[in-house]
Chain A
Amino acid sequence: MAYALEISDLKKTYPGGTQALKGISFAVEEGDFYALLGPNGAGKSSTIGIIGSLVTKTEGKVKIFGIDVDEDLALAKTMLGVVSQEINFSGFEKVIDIVVTQAGFYGIPKSIALPKVEKMLKRLSLWDKRNDQARTLSGGYKRRVMIAKALIHEPKLLILDEPTAGVDIELRREMWTFLKEINQNGTTIILTTHYLEEAEQLCRNIGIIDGGLIVENTSMRKLLGRLNVQGFVFDLESPLDKAPEIEGFPLKLEDPLTLVVAVNKERSINALFAELTSLGIKVNSMRNESNRLEELFIEMVKK
């Protein structure tokens, strides 16, 4: 299997002495949609910075489509697009100029870049704002300018550092559709996010990094498979003074009108309803206790 990205034993110590990466290794297959997750300060942006040569590495190897960045950085860069976590364009320039200039830096002359830029800006709903000064855009649209910039040279590997942070729900869903589409067209995507639902929706494989070390590297399916207990919350019609005891279902009364239960995956929730009905307890509504993935995640980075 060909790899879009291979990282081995990557270490980074910042000048101040912070050891951001303590030797991480992982690989992302060509065509994959990969999530790099981890708490604040885990080292995600440092890793991405090193891949894009915006940050110098202390030790280790980075290969992009088999090309070692220490051997042919320029060639590796032509295959890579990066959307940084922080805004990195001049706010005083027009949206269209920013993207055309970025294309120019990749060696694409203006006459060839213009039609591409038009297509890209239209695709990202930025075309109407093409003549606006970038600083006047709202945060979500600034993020789109960054995406347009990163894709203008048609990279085979796209890395996005928290592309949906601060983006509203509608825009976020639009962005998901867009990213899924370019992934289906063959672009390998790596993304970091703090929204686990996003990773669950988009990504096939995930790596979890914590304290500068990879603590997990697996497929989303396997990870979800590990979740064998689900929590449910029942809103009751009439108050109870104590939780009912039902065999196999540990029930907890959070307040007189709210009942919480942890249900093992093998058990049918029907059985629980039957028991509740026979005890004369009426359930008005039911919801998932919280994001299951989030709990698993917290457990993994707590270790």
Chain B
Amino acid sequence: MSNNRNISVALWTLTTKEIRRFLRIWIQTLVPPAVTMSLYFVIFGSLIGPRIGTMDGFDYIQFMIPGLIMMSVITNSYANVVSSFYSVKFQRSIEELLISPMPNWTILLGFVLGGVCRGCLIGFIVFGVSLLFYPDFTVVNPLLTLTVLFLTSILFSLMGFINAVFADSFDDISVIPTFVLTPLIYLGGVFYSINILPDFWRAVSMANPMLYVVNTFRAGMLGVSDVSIGFALGMILGFIGVLTGSCLYLLEKGTGIRQ
């Protein structure tokens, strides 16, 4: 496929297919985060929150909102790509892509854009839900907020893609989210500021990549952060670069997709 028009048609086809997929199964993809997050807001925000008092100078529920949005964005963009790409492998419909003249980068971009759309859409849904519980919320820096939202969903879509490439069974696509992603998110400053931790655990937390994502996002929404914004954005971009390179290398080699 030498010509750009053909490539953009192919990319559009794959991306819209990916979007249709998660919209078609909206009960599994869009509703659960809205329900779970409502529960978090009710229990931790409205019931327990007032007893906790303030965190970094904000009402607890207000502090929690950016963290919970990020948590949903991360898990959903990851889940979208890992389950979609793995099913395509599993059902062999990956052959539809491999037999076509689409370049590898278009295949990767199509899946990542699918994950990004789901991640961002979930971000907006959870933000909408949070407004029901905390109507006065105002976003301090919308540009930074949207940038981090977008970059985060790219980053975790790419991770989901790599997971799917190496996955050989449905177990393999839930191991990483359960045993790696979720613990790192919970310990990555979603529910608390690392300032409340003893020095040792604060230092350990600094090695958790989720901390940078969550805090940069919180900086966008609330204007406070436990880490340096410039440094964190740099790290996110760096990771995106490395992961994109790795994905393209795996596709080129045919790992997990061509025998």
For A107, list chain B residues within 8 Å (CB). Answer: 1, 3, 5-7, 9-10, 101
The answer to whether B258 and A74 touch across the interface, beta carbons within 8 angstroms, is: no
- Against A, the Cβ 8 Å flags (1 = close, 0 = not) of B1-24 are 111011101101110010000000
A52–B95 Cα distance when bound, in Å, is: 9
* Most B-side CB within 10 Å, residue of A15, A78, A106, A110: A106
Q: For the complex, what is the distance from the CA of A198 to the CA of B96, rounded to whole Å?
A: 27
**B101: chain A residues within 8 A (beta carbon):** 73-75, 77-78, 106-107
Q: Does A297 make an interface contact (CB < 8 A)?
A: no
A205 sits at the interface (CB 8 A): no
> Contact at B93–A77, with CB atoms within 8 Å?
no
Q: In this assembly, does A90 line the interface, its C-beta being within 8 Å of a C-beta of chain B?
A: yes
Are A53 and B98 closer than 8 Å at their CB atoms?
yes
Interface 9-mer from A24-32, A79-87, A116-124, A242-250? A79-87
Give which listed residue, A80, A84, A101, contacts B17 with CB less than 8 A: A101
Please state if A90 and B91 are interface contacts (CB–CB under 8 Å): yes
Q: Is the CB of B95 within 8 A of A104?
A: no
Chain A neighbourhood of B258, CB < 8 A: 53-56
- One digit per residue, 1 when the CB lies within 8 angstroms of any chain A CB and 0 when it does not, for chain B 226-259 equals 0000000000000000000000000000100011
Number of A-B residue pairs at CB separation under 8 A: 85
Question: How many whole Å from A222's CB to the nearest CB in chain B?
Answer: 33
How long is the Cα–Cα vector from A15 to B253 in the complex, in angstroms? Answer: 13
Looking at the assembled complex, report how far the CB atom of B208 sits from the nearest CB atom of chain A, in whole angstroms: 36
Any A CB within 8 A of the CB of B103: yes
Query: Chain B residues near A73 (CB, 8 Å)?
Result: 101
Does any Cβ of A come within 8 Å of B87's Cβ?
A: yes
The residue of chain B having its C-beta at the shortest distance from the C-beta of A12 within the complex is B259
**Could you say which residues of chain B place their CB within 8 Å of the CB of A104?**
9-10, 12-14
Binary contact track A92-121/B, C-beta < 8 Å → 1, others 0: 000000000110111111100000000000
State the CA gap A74–B96 with chains docked (Å). 14
CB contact between B96 and one of A53, A55, A75, A102 (< 8 Å): that residue: A102
Q: Is B202 an interface residue (CB 8 A)?
A: no
Nearest-Cβ distance from residue B20 to partner chain A, whole angstroms? 9
- Complex interface: chain A residues within 8 A of B12 (CB): 104
Give Cα A108–Cα B13 distance, bound, in whole angstroms: 9
The listed residue with most B CB atoms (<10 A of its CB), out of A49, A87, A105, is: A105
Report the minimal beta-carbon distance from A137 to chain B, rounded to whole angstroms: 15
A3 interface residue per 8 A CB criterion? no
A91: interface (CB < 8 Å): yes
- For B95-124 the 0/1 string (1 means CB < 8 A from A) is 111111111000000000000000000000
Instruction: Let me know if B92 and A87 touch, CB within 8 A.
Output: yes
- Chain A residue at smallest Cβ distance from B25: A92
Q: Would you call A228 an interface residue if the criterion is a C-beta within 8 Å of the partner chain's C-beta atoms?
A: no
Q: Which residues of B contact A (CB under 8 A)?
A: 1-3, 5-7, 9-10, 12-14, 17, 87-88, 91-103, 254, 258-259
Sample of 5 A–B contacts (CB below 8 Å)? A75-B2, A77-B100, A88-B93, A91-B91, A105-B14
* Residue ranges of A at the interface with B (Cβ–Cβ < 8 Å): 14-15, 49, 52-56, 73-75, 77-78, 80, 82, 84, 86-91, 101-102, 104-110, 149
